[in-house]
Amino acid sequence: MTFSEKLPAEDLTGLETALHEALNPLAAALRARTTGQPEEHMWHGEPVDIALSVLAAWKVVDQEVKRLTAVAAGTAGSYGASYEQLGAVWGITRQGARKKWPDAVSRPAPGATALDLFGGRAELTPADGAWTWAATAADGTRSDAAAAPTKEEAAALAGAFLKEHAR
């Protein structure tokens, strides 16, 4: 099976079942927070309110899937995948992949070094006898570019930032 082929119907049914099983506790917790009722009463109430609770839970799942998708694209990029490859897997063009995940594939400057630590990524770049670093952590937090006198100090600072913002 290539990346662009659809899953067989029985696999899609299994996926749907697993997603619903994972969603129910989240929907119950969200409904309990908004109604003040125990989670066991998830299915008690007006049908529209219950359906909206389920929709709110799907939104949370959708946001997390998008975040995890970006992490997966960035991980593939850090191992050398191109935007063409990312696009092929996702069923979009190279340009579409670049637009969807603009930071997934990096083109380091000459002498630059990338660090993949704690689920995040930092770029160390030589600059006028010093080193600058910038990072995107696993939780999505981005650092401003910072300078250090040596590559080792830049790596230490970037690593500390990535560790602080690990998920």
91 CB neighbour count, 10 Å cutoff? 10
Q: Which residues pair with 118 in a beta bridge?
A: none
- pLDDT value at residue 18: 92
Spatial strand order of the sheet with 130-136 comes to: 113-117, 120-127, 130-136, 146-148
Spans of the chain, pLDDT less than 50: 1, 4
- pLDDT value at residue 1: 41
- pLDDT value at residue 5: 64
What is d(CA 33, CA 28) in angstroms, rounded to the nearest whole number?
9
- pLDDT value at residue 2: 52
- pLDDT value at residue 139: 92
